[in-house]
Amino acid sequence: MRAFVSATFLCAITGLAALGMAGCSNTEEITPIQTSLDDPAAPPRQQPRGADERLSGGATTVFLTDETAFGQAAPNVMGASLAKHDAGDEAFAAEFAPRASAGHPGGLGPIFHNVSCESCHVGDGRGKPEMANGEMNALLLRLSTMGANEHGELNPVAGFGGQLQDQAVAGVAPEGKFTIAYSEVPGSFTDGTAYSLRAPRYNIHNTYLPLPGGVQVSPRMASPVFGLGLLEAIDEQTILAAADPNDRNNDGISGKANYVWDVKSQKIALGRFGWKANQPSLAQQNAAAFNGDMGVTSSLFPNESSAGQVQAIPAHAPEVNDETLNAVLHYTRTLGVPARRNITDPAVQRGKVVFDAAKCNACHTPSVRTGTLQGVPEVSNQNIFPYTDMLLHDMGEGLADNRPDFQANGREWRTTPLWGLGLTATVNKHTFLLHDGRARNVMEAILWHGGESQQSRDYVRRLPKADRDALLAFLGSL
Ligand code: HEC
Ligand code: HEC
Ligand SMILES: [Ca+2]
Ligand SMILES: [Ca+2]
Ligand SMILES: [Ca+2]
């Protein structure tokens, strides 16, 4: 489905240009801004001058606010590009089956998590810890044992590989099932208002083989998939310029890049996607999802995820062809980003000041200008507002999975983009947040922040209720 209102049209009706906010055309000018209010030594972040913060995705911004808000082709995607996006859309939604039949591409399994991309990335948004059918199939468990190979890739668990597939086709045993037990952790704001956070514990059971000892487990929720082409289009140097792995400026924030294995180029590459920036590109992320999450092989990952495990799979042709893979790639690159809402609301404006004062912006970098993504002019050279630096941060013991992932250690996670956050409830009918969906709402997500972000969390805990509400109003407008 297309967005109804184009960015240019929005500019025309709001007359932003007349107000001197040249946000309607992407300008080349940039002004350095301070990272934080009281730390002049912080590395300068580049904010595109005159970029209109309402247009979260630049010219890819869409203006729908209903449950289809995350699933729109960017309005500047047209012609052959749109046809390819639509083909990718179809494959993203298609329910795979073990054997192809009308409307169902074949290749599912033998072991898998779910039958389509969309069944986890509901409405191109996020899954939730437990789906309606009671299964955990939008939350997956990554597995590893100690040590890594020469590329930095973690050692798989014998008989289980790098992921616990909890579904299987008829006649095959799933690798195992798991349940989550939550314990409530009470706390309170400085003003005395009580809150409670829920800490998850995972219990893997019914495994088809005994699970060896010493297995490291990392739970991961299906994350939103819009705006990702823009994130892929950010120049590597732009991301690296904000990294400060040894915290040389002493602000307590030490963003670090992940370096991961790029299967196609057979080289180490900057990690961008996944909760620990564990995938270098959308092409590889998508093909890995087909393989690991659905049991569907491709030219990039020709071996079944069950190879050497459940049953011997004879060599076979890739189950999803390159044309479909390329269409899905284009789809995940060209979904538009929802526009900001209510930005003139006084609470939203107050909340933005609080967001900066709490130094949320030290990691959730509001804006950046994309570089060039070859073959995708729609996402290239855009002023965008993703609220992420794309870097890894130590988030403390509370959020730690204690499982490294390439250069990321067991406490580090990639700063989650916050664009579209306020539409989560509308699109996904829930507000479970963070890498494992443990936070039941935005405030709980903030209260889980520790490690490098402890100072931000403590700042929020000390705020009076009106300012906490303002912060939530601001985040709700993203
Ligand atoms: C079983 C549920 C599930 C299925 C099915 C699934 N995904 Fe995902 N997806 C996830 C999870 C979980 C993550 C986070 C992975 C990680 O951090 O390692 C993710 C991450 C992604 C990301 C990166 C998002 C980001 O912000 O970094 C993309 C892109 C993606 N998936 C695309 C796809 C495509 C395309 C398909 C279908 C071929 C698919 N997914 C199928 C669960 C799923
Ligand atoms: C040190 C860097 C850092 C700072 C500072 C920081 N965050 Fe985060 N934020 C992260 C990382 C990393 C995650 C992902 C953590 C996870 O999923 O376990 C995250 C996750 C979130 C999420 C959940 C998003 C989602 O989709 O699941 C919200 C909401 C959020 N942050 C808001 C804030 C606010 C508001 C502040 C300021 C009070 C803040 N953050 C300060 C790094 C930071
Ligand atoms: Ca298969
Ligand atoms: Ca497995
Ligand atoms: Ca620093």
Average pLDDT over residues 252-265: 96
Q: Is the pLDDT of residue 170 over 50?
A: yes
Output phi, psi for 462, to 5 deg. -85, -10
- Decide: 27 in ligand 1 pocket, CB within 6 A: no
Q: Is residue 185 part of a domain?
A: no
Question: Which of the ligands is closest to the CA of residue 308?
Answer: 4
Burial bucket for residue 198 (CB in 10 Å: 0-12, 13-18, 19+):
middle
Contact 404, 154 (CB under 8 A): yes
Q: Which of 56, 48, 45, 53 is nearest to 29 (CA)?
A: 48
Average pLDDT over residues 68-78: 98
Q: Which residue has the higher pLDDT, 50 or 152?
A: 152
Res 8: pLDDT: 33
Q: Which of 51, 26, 74 is nearest to 366 (CA)?
A: 51
Res 313: pLDDT: 65
Point out which residues pair with 392 in neighbouring strands: 256, 414
Q: Is the pLDDT of residue 192 over 70?
A: yes
Contact 395, 413 (CB under 8 A): yes
Q: Is residue 169 part of a domain?
A: no
- Categorize the per-residue pLDDT at 13 as very low, low, confident or very high, splitting at 50, 70 and 90: very low
Q: Is the pLDDT of residue 144 over 90?
A: yes
By residue range, what is the domain housing residue 255? 7-131+219-476
Share of the chain above pLDDT 90, in %: 83
Res 287: pLDDT: 98
Q: Which of 111, 153, 116, 158 is nearest to 138 (CA)?
A: 116
Q: Is the pLDDT of residue 25 over 90?
A: no
Average pLDDT over residues 228-257: 96
- Categorize the per-residue pLDDT at 314 as very low, low, confident or very high, splitting at 50, 70 and 90: low
pLDDT in tens, 382-430: 999 999 999 999 999 999 999 999 999 999 999 999 999 999 999 999 9
The token pair at 16 is 């932003």
Res 129: pLDDT: 82
User: What Cα–Cα distance (Å) separates residue 92 from each residue in 44, 123, 162, 325, 455?
Assistant: 39, 11, 23, 10, 40
Res 135: pLDDT: 72
Half-sphere exposure of 331 (CA within 13 A, CB side): 25
Q: Is residue 368 part of a domain?
A: yes
Question: Which of the ligands is closest to the CA of residue 247?
Answer: 5
The token pair at 141 is 């468990």
- Categorize the per-residue pLDDT at 74 as very low, low, confident or very high, splitting at 50, 70 and 90: very high
- Categorize the per-residue pLDDT at 131 as very low, low, confident or very high, splitting at 50, 70 and 90: low
Q: Is residue 306 part of a domain?
A: yes
Cα separation of 108 and 167, whole Å? 10
- Which residue matches tokens 């932003």? 16
Q: Is residue 182 part of a domain?
A: no
Res 137: pLDDT: 76
The token pair at 392 is 């890894």
Res 312: pLDDT: 58
Point out which residues pair with 194 in neighbouring strands: 188
- Categorize the per-residue pLDDT at 23 as very low, low, confident or very high, splitting at 50, 70 and 90: very low
Q: Which of 68, 48, 66, 67 is nearest to 58 (CA)?
A: 48
Q: Is the pLDDT of residue 162 over 60?
A: yes
Q: Which atom of ligand 1 is nearest to the CA of 113?
A: 1
Res 166: pLDDT: 95
**What does the mean pLDDT of the chain come to?**
89
Q: Is residue 136 part of a domain?
A: no
Q: Ligand 3 center to residue 307 CA distance, Å? A: 10
Q: Which atom of ligand 2 is nearest to the CA of 433?
A: 27
| Single pTM value for the model | 0.91
Average pLDDT over residues 150-154: 90
Q: Which atom of ligand 1 is nearest to the CA of 112?
A: 1
Q: Ligand 1 center to residue 317 CA distance, Å? A: 23
The residue type of 360 is C
pLDDT in tens, 447-476: 999 999 999 999 999 999 999 999 999 999
- Categorize the per-residue pLDDT at 15 as very low, low, confident or very high, splitting at 50, 70 and 90: very low
- Categorize the per-residue pLDDT at 311 as very low, low, confident or very high, splitting at 50, 70 and 90: low
Res 307: pLDDT: 75
127-131, 291-295, 450-454, range with the lowest pLDDT = 127-131
Q: Ligand 2 center to residue 208 CA distance, Å? A: 37
pLDDT in tens, 211-241: 999 999 999 999 999 999 999 999 999 999 9
Q: Ligand 2 center to residue 415 CA distance, Å? A: 6
Instruction: Name the pairing type of β-strands 61-62 and 45-48.
Output: unpaired
Average pLDDT over residues 435-458: 98
Q: Is residue 87 part of a domain?
A: yes
Average pLDDT over residues 172-189: 95
Contact 439, 432 (CB under 8 A): yes
Q: Ligand 2 center to residue 412 CA distance, Å? A: 12
pLDDT in tens, 332-378: 999 999 999 999 999 999 999 999 999 999 999 999 999 999 999 99
Q: Is residue 139 part of a domain?
A: no
Res 16: pLDDT: 33
- Considering its fold, how many domains does the chain have in total? 1
Probe residue for ligand 1, chosen from 70, 85, 114, 121 as the CB with the greatest number of ligand atoms within 8 Å? 121
Peptide bond into 110 cis (omega under 30): yes
Q: Which atom of ligand 1 is nearest to the CA of 276?
A: 17
Res 136: pLDDT: 74
Half-sphere exposure of 430 (CA within 13 A, CB side): 17
Q: Is the pLDDT of residue 29 over 60?
A: no
Q: Ligand 3 center to residue 297 CA distance, Å? A: 6
Q: Which residue has the higher pLDDT, 264 or 10?
A: 264
Protein residue closest via CA to atom 11 of ligand 2: 415
Res 31: pLDDT: 33
Question: Which of the ligands is closest to the CA of residue 295?
Answer: 3
